[in-house]
Amino acid sequence: MRVLHLAAEIYPLVKTGGLADVVAALPAALAARGLDTRVLVPGMPGILSGVVGLKRVVRIGPAFGAAIITLRLGRLPDSGVPVYVIDAPFLYRRDGSPYLGPDGRDWNDNHRRFALLGWIAAHLASGELDRNWRPDVVHAHDWHAGLAPAYIAQNPALNTATVFTIHNLAFRGLFPLDHHNDLGLLISGADQSALEFHGQLSFMKAALVHAKRVNAVSPTYAQEICLPEFGWGLDGLLRDRGSDLSGILNGVDYLVWNPQTDPALAKNYDHDDLRGKDACKAKLQSELGFARRAKAPLFAVVSRLTAQKGMDLILGALPAILAEGGQLVVIGSGEAEIEAAYRAAAAEYPENVSVHLGYDDAFSHRIMAGADVLLVPSRFEPCGLTQLYALRYGTLPLVRRVGGLADTVIDATPESLQAGTANGFVFVDANSRALAARIADACALYRDGTAWRLVQKRGMLQDYSWADSAVRYEALYRSI
Ligand code: ADP
Ligand code: GLC
């Protein structure tokens, strides 16, 4: 079975979040199961320089405003998974974020930049672009790839199976309706409702209507998005898809996230011998300029600094961390107001709060290893990967009970501790008070070293590798 994945990001070449991690790891896991898997990505600078052995497949164009488009084929550096790269200099050779210009706003031709991604996938599906390889399944990720199922459905000669994965429904790919003139889609009359969302064009809606199967990145999120509270106006449509909608939990790439082998760490360690983790904590504390207090519970955030992630709730709960003698390290970037508030907190408590605004992969690994607790108090969370990374690093996740967080973290209560199932801490109400209460509970357990070690080791031994999820995706492909 030949499967083509398409997305805007792929780790480690272009990444703004967990989408990139998934798009690198899932195709490799499917390939390991014997599926003939390829990936299609736009030729952003990081991709053109990072994909190895690029060779020209075909030259196309002009289209979507680009005079020249060259489809190239190479391989991902680590896994060797074949990758098609759309080399369209006019559309993609832009430094920085894949979505935003230097002014921090969406590029004004994003509809063309990402329509081309879907359009190329549809033409690979029809066999027109590569005589040597034609996918049976086209698997599109998030709104950037959302027009692929629409272009495929529009071609009556194609019976390609299409799967669309929702990584985050909040980003619906909205554009002025008249932009459809640029996209070569038939959206007059009855077709219009399949793309139109309250007077705008939505790439996300196009995918949800046209894909043969839709899935979300966790079972709980698949249920939540059918409710108005989490549905962003698309919940009715998702309810109508009935059993075409499912939830498949993301996995972890343990080649990248493994404290036994992680080259970013001061000392490697595993569940049998956590002394390396203590060394990582001491090193992190001195790197941050914190007092080196081995017994101070060290809380961490590795996240986009946005309201989705509940980052404002942590600011409100900061007094609870400090009152417990705790420390907080934050790495992330996002909304200006939240960034400013974190900067102010770090200035006020330099010995116990350290904030790094920006993106730093190696530093995120050192934090994951050196911290005691990872805070993920999201308002909504389709899956969340950092809590899974934390588990493997012996860092207990403290999360809000939503989406994939609810599916992966088992709250430490007297009962679950007794039963030996607890692997972290969970709170329910989206407010700082509820978070602060759970922080205090985490500190109490932390002081009971023996109980803490048991929970830590249990989390480290849990297996969230991609193998199980790849089985589920394969079954989904076979069902269509
Ligand atoms: P989302 O995709 O919603 O941002 P996930 O938990 O699925 O959330 O994935 C976030 C990914 O981005 C993880 O791999 C995490 O380690 C990484 N990450 C987030 N912020 C940073 C940062 N500032 N520096 C380095 N890595 C980061
Ligand atoms: C999105 C979601 C996150 C998920 C990631 C990968 O960015 O916000 O919860 O883990 O996609 O699927």
Structure confidence by residue, pLDDT tens digits, 196-251: 999 999 999 999 999 999 999 999 999 999 999 999 999 999 999 999 999 999 99
Same domain flag for 236 and 349: no
Q: What is the pLDDT of residue 190?
A: 46
Q: What is the pLDDT of residues 113-135, one digit of tens each?
A: 999 999 999 999 999 999 999 99
**223 and 357 share one domain:** no
Alpha helix (H) ranges present in 211-360? Answer: 219-224, 228-231, 235-240, 275-288, 311-323, 336-348
Residue 262 lies in a domain: no
Residues 358 and 317 in one domain: yes
Q: Which range is least confidently modeled, 11-15, 75-79, 185-189, 302-306?
A: 185-189
- Which residue has its alpha carbon closest to ligand 1 atom 22? 359
Mark whether 294 and 410 lie in a shared domain: yes
**Which position has the higher pLDDT, 265 or 180?**
265
- Is the residue at 261 inside a domain? no
If one residue of 11, 166, 250 were mutated to test the ligand 2 pocket, choosing by the most ligand atoms within 8 A of its CB, it would be: 250
In a domain, 376, yes or no: yes
Output phi, psi for 71, to 5 deg: -90, 125
φ, ψ of residue 54 in degrees (nearest 5):
-65, 130
Q: Is residue 288 part of a domain?
A: yes
Q: Is 334 in the pocket of ligand 1 (CB under 6 A)?
A: no
The contacts of residue 376 (CB under 8 Å, 6+ apart) are 303, 309, 310, 384, 386, 387, 397, 398, 399, 400, 405
The alpha carbon of 165 and the centre of ligand 2 are apart by a number of angstroms equal to: 11
Closest residue by Cα to atom 15, ligand 1, is: 386
Task: Tell whether 472 is covered by a domain.
Answer: yes
Report how far apart, in Å, the C-alpha atoms of 51 and of each of 3, 21, 85, 422 are. Answer: 19, 16, 8, 41
- Do 67 and 191 share a domain, yes or no? yes
Within-domain flag for 192 = yes
Name the residue of 14, 19, 252, 309 to mutate for ligand 2: max ligand atoms within 8 A of Cβ.
Answer: 19
Q: Average of pLDDT values for 167-189? A: 84
pLDDT of 32: 97
The pLDDT of residue 191 is 62
Rounded mean pLDDT of the chain?
Answer: 96
| Ligand 1 contacts CB of residue 378 (under 6 A) | no
How many angstroms is it from 386 CA to the middle of ligand 2? 10
Q: Write out the residue range of the structural domain in which residue 430 sits.
A: 275-461
Could you tell me the distance, in angstroms and rounded to a whole number, from the CA of residue 19 to the centre of ligand 2?
A: 6
Domain check: are 473 and 457 in the same one? no
Q: Whose alpha carbon is nearest atom 20 of ligand 1?
A: 303
Average pLDDT of 274-294? 95
Give yes or no: residues 300 and 181 share one domain: no
Q: 53 C-alpha to center of ligand 1: Å?
A: 28
Q: How far is the CA of 318 from the centre of ligand 2 (A)?
A: 26
Contact 4, 139 (CB under 8 A): yes
Q: What residue spans of 410-448 are helical by DSSP H?
A: 414-419, 432-447
User: What is the distance in A from the centroid of ligand 2 to the CA of 239?
Assistant: 21
The continuous run of DSSP H or E covering 139 comes out as: strand 137-141
Our count of domains for the chain comes to: 2
Residue 364 near ligand 1, beta carbon < 6 Å? yes
151 and 282: one domain? no
Q: Does one domain contain both 473 and 409?
A: no
Contact indicator for 86, 48 with CB cutoff of 8 Å: no
Tokens of 305: 């600094």
pLDDT of residue 213: 98
- 124 Cα to the center of ligand 2, angstroms: 27
Residue in 228, 222, 220 with CA at minimum distance from that of residue 241: 222
User: What pLDDT does 211 receive?
Assistant: 97
Q: Is the peptide bond before 414 cis (omega within 30 degrees of 0)?
A: no
Under 8 Å CB-to-CB from 350, ≥6 apart: which residues? 289
Q: What is the atom index within ligand 2 of the atom nearest the CA of 308? A: 8
State how beta strands 200-202 and 213-216 pair.
unpaired
Residue 361 alpha carbon, nearest atom of ligand 1: 25
How far is residue 372's CA from residue 268's CA, in Å, rounded to a whole number? 16
Per DSSP, the residues of 11-55 read TTTB-SSHHHHHHHHHHHHHHHTT-EEEEEEE--HHHHHHSEEEE
Q: Which atom of ligand 2 is nearest to the CA of 381?
A: 9
Lowest mean pLDDT among 53-62, 163-172, 179-188: 179-188
Is the distance from CB of 262 to CB of 268 less than 8 angstroms?
A: yes
Buried b (16+ CB within 10 A) or exposed e, 66-100: beebbbbbbbbeebebbbbbbbbebbbebeeebbe
How far is Cα 19 from Cα 384, in angstroms, rounded to an integer? 10
Q: Are residues 381 and 474 in the same domain?
A: no
Determine whether the shortest distance from the Cβ of 332 to ligand 1 is under 6 A: yes
Read off the CATH number of the domain in which 68 is found. Answer: 3.40.50.2000
Regarding beta strands 174-176 and 200-202, do their DSSP bridges make them parallel or antiparallel, or are they unpaired?
Answer: antiparallel
List residues near ligand 2 (CB under 6 A).
Answer: 17-19, 22, 167-168, 217, 250, 381-385, 404
Does residue 44 register a pLDDT over 60? yes
Are residue 472 and residue 443 in the same domain, yes or no? no
The rounded Å distance from CA 180 to ligand 1 centre is 32
Distance 414 CA to ligand 2 centre (A): 31
Question: Which residue owns the Cα nearest ligand 2 atom 12?
Answer: 167
| Residue 22 included in any domain | yes
Q: Which ligand is nearest to the CA of 220?
A: 2
Task: Please tell me the pTM assigned to this model.
Answer: 0.97
- Ligand 2: which of 15, 22, 167 to mutate, most ligand atoms within 8 Å of CB? 167
pLDDT digits (tens, 9 = 90+) for 379-425: 999 999 999 999 999 999 999 999 999 999 999 999 999 999 999 99
| Backbone φ and ψ of 161, nearest 5° | -75, 135
- What's the 167 CA to ligand 2 centre distance in angstroms? 5
Residue 213 domain-assigned (yes or no)? yes
Q: Are residues 358 and 287 in the same domain?
A: yes
Q: What is the rounded average pLDDT of the residues 76-93?
A: 97
pLDDT recorded at residue 347: 97
Residue 141 in contact with residue 7, Cβ under 8 Å?
Answer: yes
Best substitution site from 14, 141, 304, 375 to test ligand 1's pocket, by max atoms within 8 Å of Cβ? 304
Residue 42, beta-bridge partner list: 86
Atom of ligand 1 minimally distant from the CA of 389: 16
